[in-house]
């Protein structure tokens, strides 16, 4: 019985400390709800990303090793705006070396950090890929990050995303598994009419 009371007391103390900490963190104009709402307003960067919304056909090339011949694959992507244009969601269906692949990506611009952020998951891996990036020129974004590959080896990734026109996007991805960066993928997105 004493053990049960002790556990309940500890839980109560922890909840009380959490509530006091939250109350303290919300003090001051920089942490007001109004400040958070203002920080969360979509801006010019978000509107620019939303120009990529639509349905796209994809023609891709993948290189599995330096100097290897690329494999070709095709797919379809539907890019839609989420939460009043704060994020762009990509739903992908295609193939990779004869294997069906589905994937989901979320891209947005973080007003607090001034960086673009992207998250990707798919049906042929169990890793969640997180990358951050900047807009390096009008209609050009560069993202970088890493994920764990076979054997737990870290693979660094860099992706350049170019809006060639409102009807064509071009993506290049570079990988580095520890022996230097190499091109591992390129894809042309063509807006479906």
DSSP state of 179: S
What's the CATH number of domain 44-191, 2.30.30.100, 2.40.40.20, 2.40.128.20, 3.30.499.10?
A: 2.40.128.20
Instruction: Return the pLDDT at 191.
Output: 97
Nearest-angstrom CA–CA distance, 59 and 191:
12
| Residue numbers of the chain with a pLDDT score lower than 50 | 1-25
Instruction: Return the pLDDT at 14.
Output: 40
Bridge partners for 71 per DSSP: 62
What are the phi and psi torsion angles at 86 (to 5°)? -80, -30
Instruction: Return the pLDDT at 24.
Output: 44
What residue ranges do the domains of the chain occupy? Answer: 2-39, 44-191
Instruction: Return the pLDDT at 30.
Output: 67
> Hey, what's the torsion of the CAs at 161, 182, 117, 21, to 10 degrees?
-170
Instruction: Return the pLDDT at 6.
Output: 36
- 159 by Cβ neighbours in 10 Å (0-12 / 13-18 / 19+) ranks as buried
Nearest-angstrom CA–CA distance, 174 and 159:
6
What are the phi and psi torsion angles at 138 (to 5°)? -55, 125
Nearest-angstrom CA–CA distance, 171 and 181:
16
Instruction: Return the pLDDT at 113.
Output: 96
């Amino acid at each position: 019985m004493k053990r049960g009371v002790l556990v309940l007391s500890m839980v109560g103390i922890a909840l009380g400390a959490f509530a006091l900490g939250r109350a303290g963190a919300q003090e001051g104009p920089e942490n007001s709800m109004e400040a958070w709402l203002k920080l969360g307003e979509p801006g010019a960067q978000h509107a620019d990303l939303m120009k990529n919304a639509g349905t796209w056909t994809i023609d891709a090339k993948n290189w599995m090793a330096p100097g290897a011949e690329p494999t070709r694959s095709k797919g379809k992507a539907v890019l839609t705006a989420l939460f009043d244009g704060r994020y762009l969601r990509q739903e992908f269906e295609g193939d990779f070396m004869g294997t069906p692949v589905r994937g989901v990506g979320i891209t947005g611009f973080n007003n607090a950090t001034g960086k673009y952020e992207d998250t990707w998951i798919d049906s042929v891996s169990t890793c969640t890929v997180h990358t951050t990036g900047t807009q390096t020129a009008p209609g050009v974004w560069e993202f970088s990050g890493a994920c764990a590959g076979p054997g737990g080896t870290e693979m660094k990734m860099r992706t350049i995303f170019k809006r060639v026109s409102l009807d064509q996007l071009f993506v290049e991805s570079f990988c580095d598994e520890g022996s230097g960066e190499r091109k591992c993928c390129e894809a042309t997105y063509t807006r479906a009419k």
